[in-house]
Amino acid sequence: VSFPWQRREISNFDYLIYLNTLAGRSYNDYMQYPVFPWVLADYHSETLNLTNPHTFRDLSKPMGAQTVERKRKFIQRYNEVEKSEDLSAQCHYCTHYSSAIIVASYLVRMEPFTQTFCSLQGGSFDVADRMFHSVKSTWESASRDNMSDVRELIPEFFYLPEFLTNANHFELGCMQDGTVLGDVQLPPWADGDPHKFILLHRQALECEYVSAHLHHWIDLIFGHKQHGSAAVDAVNTYHPYFYGDKMDLNNIKDPLIKNTILGFISNFGQIPKQV
């Protein structure tokens, strides 16, 4: 029996929204916001070639395993930590691919997300160098450079050009290299046009290569590689506190530990329910 998505009767975008909904993710909850994949790895070419496999991110691997070196470091971290019940629990990642601050940082140029971001940051914008300002540099951070950054994307990257422009003229600060933050810097193939970026990015999501490989990513985020031995093999384990539905908070008698776990989940995100 094949499903409508396998028969290409519904788009990849619609199917991902459907899975997010089944897994308890919602636009109404920044802590459990819909999560979408990075699908491209090419943010430097003048034109986007959707027939070349090298254009795309490896959808069979989580963001922490996109390069051989990065994968090796996370496996090393996992092996170095003995199994324990405290904050140094055995896992590959102590940060998450989706959290309230990640969502708000992507959408910071639009209200009401601007206010949300500032309140999460203690009342002001973050240091300019840490703000979302470039699609390319965010990809490089999350896929290669930053061991505490394994973020994925949000649905808006595939339909909402407005979040890429600073139409409200917020003063987002100035980076150390002198760059004044304004509109989000787009890849060369978008020609500086947010609408073109969204159009091509959506085409990439729906293209043949992604359609043929998307099920691997779904297994990592919503399926059998989400936890357990399959997750260990896939370099896809997160701190135990991220698995909110697996933790029985009612059995934790110590209020301090209970509040620590709840604070951890609210600040750093949680794994979707398995579907």
Question: Given this model, what pLDDT does residue 87 score?
Answer: 53
Q: With b meaning 16 or more CB within 10 Å and e meaning fewer, what string describes 39-59?
A: bbbbbeeeebebeeeebbbbb
Kindly list the domain boundaries of the chain, sorted by start residue.
3-266
**The pLDDT value given to residue 241:** 82
Q: Is 36 helix (H, G, I), strand (E, B) or coil?
A: strand
Give yes or no for a cis peptide into 194 (omega within 30° of 0).
no
Amino acid 242: pLDDT: 87
Low-confidence ranges of the chain (pLDDT < 50): none
Residue recorded with tokens 């709840």: 262
Pick the CATH number of 3-266 from 3.40.50.2300, 1.10.150.300, 3.40.50.1100, 1.10.1540.10: 1.10.1540.10
pLDDT at position 245 is: 63
**Token reading at 173:** 């600060």
What does the angle CA 95 – CA 211 – CA 43 come to, to the nearest 5 degrees? 60
Instruction: Please tell me the predicted confidence (pLDDT) of residue 222.
Output: 97
In a 10 Å sphere around its CB, with 0-12 CB exposed, 13-18 middle and 19+ buried, how is residue 98 labelled? buried
pLDDT confidence of residue 214: 97
How is residue 3 written in tokens?
């499903």
Rounding to the nearest 10 degrees, give the CA dihedral for residues 236, 238, 243, 246: 80
